[in-house]
Structure 1
Amino acid sequence: MRLLTARLAARRRSRLAGPIVLLLGLLLTGGAYALLSPAQAESTGSDTDDVAKGRELFLVGCSSCHGKNGEGVVDKNGDNYGPSLVGVGAAAVDFQVGTGRMPMANPSQQAPVKRVAYNDEEISQLAAFVASLGPGPAIPDAEKYDPESIPEDERQEAIVRGGEFFRTNCTACHNFAASGGALPDGKYAPSLLGVEPRHVYEAMLTGPQQMPVFSDDVLEPEQKRDIIAYLQSIEEQPKYGGTTLGSYGPVAEGMVAWIGGIGVLVGFAVWIASHTARSSRKGTKA
């Protein structure tokens, strides 16, 4: 035992002991990170050809704002002209480009929805290139976001759960009827009606612009799918009582009541007053 202890003590004094311990520490740290890293930090696994074609498209349509390697561009004032795309993942590209928000026609407070500039194959190639820059959320499978994948006997329960999640996390910006609403500094929360389920899921997963990120650690994939099922149920609900006025709530309804209702009444009162028969006084002779 004493002999073994002496040998170990001698080896610790060796010049190679420090580098060996450092190497072992790095290997253990890297292995622990690979095992414990978040589940959404994954790459698309696309082949090299898609990445190469995606880079060609990126250099033409995206590099002027985001840099040739997706590192971002800073203007002369030190402001972020185009953010870095390292680590945003393929899902962010599929959402931004697939909804026409990117590429932007000109920098503004918020990227609006417009006509899509790329076809599905080109969007997939752009997503593959951006995913190769760093690990990030991948494009979700249909079973994660499609409400049709919910069994029929569980559909209504899922809609109820989705409504609870939506009212708790989303109505402050998107309105109780998912019609959207105004935000500070000239920004706005867009309407969620008529949006493809995949894009709604990707928006929750990636947090575009001022929207917070609802990762799978915050909202599980099943909960995101329940929210999408609830949004579809809103679109399918009949509109009782006539026009909904955009479902913007009491502000829009009050404006219509004042301008439309009271305005009509005031106009009608003025018309009555202007057409009232007037009696003329004739002088009488004594």
Structure 2
Amino acid sequence: MTRITAWRRHPLARYAVLILALALVGTAYATFVQVSKPADAALASGKVDDVANGKSLFQAHCASCHGLNAEGTSTGPTLIGVGAASVDFQMSTGRMPASNPGAQVPRKPLPEWVDSDSISDIAAYVQSLGGGPTVPSGDQVDPALGDAAKGGELFRANCIQCHNWAGAGGALTRGKYAPNLNESSPTQIYEAMVTGPQAMPVFNDTTITPEEKRNMIAYIVQVREQTDPGGFALGRIGPVTEGLVAWVVGILALVLAAIWITAKKRQKS
């Protein structure tokens, strides 16, 4: 006991305890945390050749900005660890490849060489580099399997500050903006939540579960399919736009009515 007590009082004892604690934490993390397989996107499709073809396409069309090995350059970030979901979102929406990078890359038509197969192959290659979120399955993004009412609650709590209650989008700072969701597919909406493109935060499965994401997709799809029985939707931007139109149209109508009444009175006199 005397020897143990002496070791406990040694000046280096605290450092030894700290190193031991860090080693135990690291071992526990490595044991219980599930690590993504490097090429799970390619293996899931059953075609290992997808990675090789994706690498060739990547080096031909993407390496000038992201580097030959996706390590990143001064004009493009590293893609190691971003996952297949990020590649599928960026390429399927036409944001990548970006011909004219700016404050925010807009959605645009796909180039001629980009199709579903080329996107899938490049996604498989990027997935093989360091894992990351994978492309969601059909059941994960099926609006028919979601609860639109619950999804609406989640959407209003987490998304309307930027995207508006109807997903119409809105302006952000420094030239950025939250895009309109009307053109986004359910898969793209899910991928945006798990990858956080551009100014959007990442909503991982700990923050919003896959079931809750599907509920939010169901709400977005339901809202954009609704009609506007009141007349012009005015982009569904909100009361500011509606109020402005009401004032402009209303005041203009009153001015024209006043001019017409005055002209009538002058003719009678």
Q: Is the 8 A contact 1:63 1:69 kept in 2?
A: yes
Partners of 2:217 and 2:35 lie apart in 1 by: 23
Return the match for 1:246 from 232, 235, 246: 235
| Structure 1 unmatched ranges of 5 or more | 1-24, 75-80, 281-286
Aligned to 1:59: 59
Change (3 A) 1:29 1:229: same
Greater shift, 233-242 or 96-105, is seen at: 233-242
Count of residues paired in the alignment: 243
Change (3 A) 1:72 1:127: same
| Structure 2 unmatched ranges of 5 or more | 1-21
Change (3 A) 1:169 1:102: same
RMSD: 2.6
When normalised by structure 1's length, the TM-score is: 0.77
Matches within 5 A, 1:1-286: 29=26, 32-33=29-30, 35-37=32-34, 43-46=40-43, 47-74=47-74, 81-117=75-111, 118-148=114-144, 150=145, 158-274=147-263, 276-277=265-266
Greater shift, 47-56 or 218-227, is seen at: 47-56
Aligned to 1:15: none
Change (3 A) 1:203 1:140: same
Partners of 1:213 and 1:41 lie apart in 2 by: 21
What is the CA deviation profile of residues 51-86 of structure 1, one whole-angstrom value per residue up to 9, with x for unaligned ones? Answer: 121111112221111111111112xxxxxx211101
Change (3 A) 1:55 1:45: closer
Deviation of 1:40 after TM superposition, in Å, equals 10
Deviation of 1:278 after TM superposition, in Å, equals 6.3
What is the CA deviation profile of residues 161-189 of structure 1, one whole-angstrom value per residue up to 9, with x for unaligned ones? Answer: 10111010001100011111111111110
Structure with higher Rg: it is: 1
Deviation of 1:147 after TM superposition, in Å, equals 1.9
* Percent identity (aligned): 47
When normalised by structure 2's length, the TM-score is: 0.82
Partners of 2:96 and 2:226 lie apart in 1 by: 32
